[in-house]
């Protein structure tokens, strides 16, 4: 079954460029503003939009993100959520990390669909900058095990960083930088202001340009 994510990456492959994937927290800072920001993302160049679900005990999200990404459901428990999701036509995207060796990678990839999310650094989101050289080697290793696109997240905050990662991966994922831009636009009470939507949209657009510049540089 071909999902919308499969179709998007197939289209990007034909275009010869990497994906720009954005992460935003649902309902942040309020439902109406959150929806406006999400709707603005395609116009800003986002190819895939990851929407986080607020959660009290995030496993990998840094201080700027309080969200749920299913990083602690082992491949051995695929029957619980992964397989039902696949049967429902939903891509189930797993994470590979710098500590995932080749033996474990095979298990991680067994039921993965859509794309593989490679975590470029150990630790939480927004904690350090990604090293494109190291990431490139890791992406190449993962691709020896799968035909799925490999997108890279964690540690990407600037257009230059997005460009460097997009040059060696199938997509660059940015979350913390966008959440930080949103937070910086709020008033003293943590409420949205007239600047909030544009603050996030403008940053997303600049990051999208960075991703697209990677194709031009390659040409």
Active site residues: 50, 61
Distances (CA, A) of 125 to 23, 122, 137: 11, 9, 21
Instruction: Centre a 10 Å sphere on the Cβ of residue 198 and count the other Cβ atoms it contains.
Output: 15
Q: How far is it between the farthest Cα atoms of the chain?
A: 51
What sign for the dihedral angle of Cα 33, 66, 98, 178?
A: positive
What is the tally of helices (H) and strands (E) in the chain?
8, 7
Paired tokens of 74: 């082992």
């Amino acid at each position: 079954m071909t999902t919308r994510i499969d179709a998007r990456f197939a289209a990007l492959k034909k275009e010869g460029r990497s994906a720009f994937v954005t992460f935003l927290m649902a309902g942040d800072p309020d439902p109406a503003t959150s929806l406006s920001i999400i709707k603005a993302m395609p116009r800003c160049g986002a190819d895939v939009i990851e929407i986080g679900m607020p959660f009290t005990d995030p496993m990998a999200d840094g201080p700027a993100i309080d969200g749920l990404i299913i990083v602690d459901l082992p491949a051995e428990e695929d029957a619980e959520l992964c397989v039902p999701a696949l049967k429902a036509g939903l891509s189930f995207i797993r994470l590979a990390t710098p500590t995932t060796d080749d033996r474990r990678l095979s298990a991680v990839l067994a039921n993965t669909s859509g794309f593989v999310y490679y975590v470029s650094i150990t630790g939480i989101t927004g904690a350090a900058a990604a090293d494109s050289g190291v990431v490139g080697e890791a992406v190449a290793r993962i691709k020896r095990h799968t035909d799925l696109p490999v997108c890279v997240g964690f540690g990407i905050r600037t257009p230059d960083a997005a460009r460097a990662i997009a040059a060696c991966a199938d997509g660059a994922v940015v979350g913390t930088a966008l959440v930080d831009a949103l937070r910086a636009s709020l008033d003293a009470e943590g409420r949205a202001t007239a600047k909030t939507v544009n603050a996030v949209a403008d940053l997303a657009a600049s990051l999208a340009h960075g991703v697209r510049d990677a194709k031009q540089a390659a040409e």
